[in-house]
Amino acid sequence: MTATQVIAPQGATPPKPAKRRSGVLTALKGHVDLFLNAGSLIATTAITSLLGFVFWWVAARAASPEAVGQASAAVSALTLIGTIGMFGMGTMLISELSQLRGPKWELISTCLLVAGAAATVGGIAYVAVAQLWIPGLKEALGGQAGTVLLVVGIAVNAITLVLDEALIGLLKGPLQLTRNAWFAVIKLVLLAGLAVAPITVTGNELLLTWVAGIVASTAILGVALRRRGLIDSPRPRLSLLKGRGRSTFDHNLLNLASYLPRAAMPLLVTAVLSASANASFYTAFMVLSMLAMIPGSVALTLFAVASGDRRALRSKVRVGLLICVGVGLPGSLLVVLLANPIMSVFGASYADAAGDALRILALTYIPFVFLHFFLAISRVHNRVRRAGVFALFAGAAELAAAWYGGSHGGLTDLVAWFAVVLWIEALCVAPVVLRTVFATGRRGGDTANTTTMTLHERAWLPLEYIRTIGPVYGVTVDGMRKALIGLHAADPKHRAVSKLDRIGARWEHMDGAEFAQFVHRAVQDSGDWSLDMDGMTRKLQSEPRGVHPIRILVGAGYVAIKVSHAYGDAGPVNSLVHELVLAASQGRAAVIPPLERNRMALPKAWWKQFGTKPTRWKEGISFARPPEPEETRMRKWQPNLTVRTARSATALKEMRKWRDEYAPGVTTSAITFAAFTAALYNLGLQPDTSGATFLADGRRYLDKDVRIDSNFCMGPYLSPPDMMDPLSVHTTIKHELATGRILTMMMLREGKIALDGAPGMPDPYPAELPIPPRPRLTFSNQGRHDLLGDLPWSVGPEWRVNLSVPTLNSPEGVTLTTSEMNGVLHLEATFHASTFDPNLISRALELVITDPAGQIMSVRRVEA
């Protein structure tokens, strides 16, 4: 076997190879909804905070301190009561909209109406309390006009807050960002107009700009929604809330329990310490709030995205945590280091009073991440009330701890006790978040009696291929079952005698009694002695994927074994076939020693190839991409996977003879690939010669003492200058293998799987086929199968059947598998009979084994 030979599993190419791209970037592209909507929330906070600061800066210069104080008190009431007045409608909408099949805006408008009414009642109650019992607040109402404006503002604010969350529930985050940006700009422009007008600006005018900004921005949003046709039926129907009362109450409980304690912290600091201490604390707490908006925004978006697809929760949580850790954690550490300079921006006294407090608060970023994600996961799993009760007690504990710290010390002690409670809360909820992150999709079951698949096992889980050999003597169904039962008795956790959990990506292990039943389904008689090796192969091809890592048919002297690619590629499977057939013929237990499941083999190999050699980095990450399919006419199509085979005891000699004369050093596999392409071309099938997928074994890059017993392969897309020239094919493959870039491709694919999970089943076939179809080629050279030479064959090498057949191929795909056994060349072409004429593919194979040189030379003569 030469260094340029490509040895790989059969059938490893998924459908539509020209359209599939793998890697971490592809995984992240699958989370655009999370990035876009969480980013819009973060941008909303940033814009409104920045322009809000400018607003109050202008207000302080355009109006008297009394007017600014009245307006700020009104805005605080507007924000607080408006938030309470949402009454859980916003988060309830996020939960319901993704699952609602009818008109969505009927429910949205109903919730807006209820929130506005509830906030109006809350606003009137606030006015009554201020008028009757709190003189300071009564003075801040601003007379009759100001009072009416405040109540209207509270109602309108509650409506827009619910509307913003409804847009997140519809995954239209950029629209809520647009509304909030307009709100921030409009109220600032109105304030600037007041500032230059020849009037005395009062608190009522300042509040009016705020309310007018809300109304105008909402109107602009309404126009945008109608223009885009996003509003289906805006008429409210209170009957839609029937059956949603409990959900709304639970969401409201959770919202208030998580919001009010933190909102009350400045009041507690003022009561326990002093107003001046609160000024410093509030400034530091504002910096923390800016950091906490990252996990808060991501978690809210996570809830919106995963509510409609709980299966996506794990991958969304992983990406969300990646965002929070990658963006927010460096920021929090920077705040720890620069706490005093940050506080000194507000004045030297702020740095002296709250520098250490800010440093401690910045260290609570990680607890905030876990708490926000815990709340989001609880909402997705409909555990809202339980989370609300937890948040209620947690909030009380935070306030109690802060009170205790402040009563027995200063501001730093108060913040330290508050931080301790936050870390305790994080430790309590972290298991829920981490279970979601590391969950594999299992629901129930004994996870102690399972083994998690490695990343490269999970990568190949959707794919299978079939090894059919024969004729052999002495192999029966009972003998094969006995061999496997013996293997299970010796090693019940061996992957060959385990069960596939496709959803959880695990190997499930069974006791003896369960496996005895399992093996009867796994190993069966072919059921029809008229079936030859092709019939048995087709029968296994047509079976749906199941829980068996190996599925075996025995009959008419042949053994057909369908193997999950998660079990292994050509090397491990050949060892499996050899031992099972030999043990079955000898009436004994199979002995297949498991190898170490080396999870670090790939990173180590990659580091050895690239990590210490920066000059290789550029070449190691530059991949050839399959060309995008051209626009063409389509016809309806249904899959009909078919295989055609050929073998020859003389073809390899003919190839070597031609090679020595015309292309010294070229491998016979390169000659085979080029001859098959040329044969298809000569038969008028017009194969795609811009490139092909060449499956390659990554073990060549491992240390000699490292062995991988599963799948360690990759199929790079390569573009030889001439697909019908063996030298061109050989040189391209040799150069590709020399770069070692398939290790990078494998690393990226496993990074994607670690980030985004992996499917247990392949994607469905498309329903249409281009006209005319062109063969898209995949080449797999499995090398020498001489390991099988000592099986109980009943015929000579030239008559032996040794098939390697995939159970999957793209509509235009033609996969050619080559192997050599005892000097005989074996070829298998797998394709869809609904796409290409099987007689033409059979003819191409015959041309390759009878006259490979003639196919290659005929193309050269035509080109000349």
Q: Is pLDDT above 80 for 282?
A: no
Q: What pLDDT, on the 0 to 100 scale, is given for residue 756?
A: 65
d(C-alpha 172, C-alpha 144), whole Å: 39
> Which two tokens mark 119?
């906030």
Q: Is pLDDT above 60 for 24?
A: no
Higher pLDDT, 618 or 197: 197
Q: Is pLDDT above 70 for 540?
A: yes
| Band of pLDDT at residue 101, cut at 50, 70 and 90 | low
pLDDT digits (tens, 9 = 90+) for 773-812: 999 999 999 989 999 999 999 999 999 999 999 988 999 9
Average pLDDT over residues 820-826: 94
Q: Report the alpha-carbon angle 465-468-474, nearest 5.
A: 140
Among the listed ranges 25-29, 128-132, 701-705, which one has the minimum average pLDDT value? 25-29
Q: Which residues pair with 771 in a beta bridge?
A: 633
Average pLDDT over residues 733-739: 91
pLDDT digits (tens, 9 = 90+) for 311-370: 678 888 888 898 899 888 999 999 999 999 988 887 788 888 889 999 999 999 999 999
Q: Which residues pair with 830 in a beta bridge?
A: 643, 815
Going from the C-alpha of 617 to that of each of 24, 27, 424, 613, 620, the distances in angstroms are 17, 22, 44, 7, 5
- The count of residues in the chain is 864
Q: Is pLDDT above 80 for 158?
A: yes
Q: Report the alpha-carbon angle 484-490-494, nearest 5.
A: 65
pLDDT digits (tens, 9 = 90+) for 193-252: 998 888 888 889 999 999 999 999 999 999 999 888 888 777 888 888 887 878 888 888
Going from the C-alpha of 55 to that of each of 50, 300, 327, 388, the distances in angstroms are 9, 27, 28, 35
Q: What is the DSSP string of 745-803?
A: HHHHHHHHHHHH---SSPPPPPSEEEES---EEEEEEEEE-GGGGGS-BSS-GGG-EEE
d(C-alpha 536, C-alpha 539), whole Å: 5
Q: What is the DSSP string of 546-614?
A: -S-SEEEEEETTEEEEEEETTT--HHHHHHHHHHHHHHHHHTS----PPPP--TTHHHHHHIIIIIT-G
Q: What pLDDT, on the 0 to 100 scale, is given for residue 17?
A: 36
Sign of CA dihedral 41, 45, 50, 55: positive
| Band of pLDDT at residue 6, cut at 50, 70 and 90 | very low
Q: Which residues contact 495 (CB under 8 A, 6 or more apart)?
A: 451, 507, 549, 567, 594, 710
d(C-alpha 758, C-alpha 30), whole Å: 13
Mean pLDDT (the chain) is: 86
Sign of CA dihedral 796, 798, 801, 803: positive
**511 close to 492: Cβ distance less than 8 angstroms:** yes
Average pLDDT over residues 84-89: 86
Dihedral (Cα; 510, 516, 520, 521), 10-degree rounding = -20
Higher pLDDT, 676 or 714: 676
Share of the chain above pLDDT 70, in %: 92
| Band of pLDDT at residue 13, cut at 50, 70 and 90 | very low
| Band of pLDDT at residue 473, cut at 50, 70 and 90 | very high
Q: Which amino acid is at 535?
A: G
Residue 698 is classified by DSSP as G
CA 204 from chain centre, in angstroms, equals 51
- Closest CA relative to residue 140, chosen from 59, 66, 60, 52: 66
**486 close to 573: Cβ distance less than 8 angstroms:** no
Q: Is pLDDT above 70 for 440?
A: no
**68 close to 206: Cβ distance less than 8 angstroms:** yes
Q: What pLDDT, on the 0 to 100 scale, is given for residue 653?
A: 92
Crossing angle for the helix pair 143-169 and 65-85, to the nearest 10 degrees: 40
Q: Mind spelling out the 3-state secondary structure of 387-451? A: HHHHHHHHHHHHHHHHHHHHHCCCHHHHHHHHHHHHHHHHHHHHHHHHHHHHCCCCCCCCHHHEE
61: part of which helix (H) or strand (E)?
helix 32-62
Q: What pLDDT, on the 0 to 100 scale, is given for residue 11?
A: 40
Higher pLDDT, 112 or 529: 112
Phi–psi pair at 500, nearest 5 degrees: -85, 125
**Strands of the sheet with 641-648, listed across from one edge:** 641-648, 824-832, 813-821, 776-784, 692-694, 717-718
Q: What pLDDT, on the 0 to 100 scale, is given for residue 481?
A: 95
Q: What pLDDT, on the 0 to 100 scale, is given for residue 528?
A: 63
| Band of pLDDT at residue 724, cut at 50, 70 and 90 | very high
d(C-alpha 68, C-alpha 66), whole Å: 5
Dihedral (Cα; 473, 477, 478, 479), 10-degree rounding = 40
pLDDT digits (tens, 9 = 90+) for 29-39: 556 777 788 88
pLDDT digits (tens, 9 = 90+) for 558-596: 999 999 999 988 888 999 999 999 999 999 999 988 766
d(C-alpha 53, C-alpha 59), whole Å: 10
Share of the chain above pLDDT 90, in %: 46
**508 close to 538: Cβ distance less than 8 angstroms:** no
Q: What pLDDT, on the 0 to 100 scale, is given for residue 580?
A: 95
Among the listed ranges 287-301, 449-463, 525-539, which one has the minimum average pLDDT value? 525-539
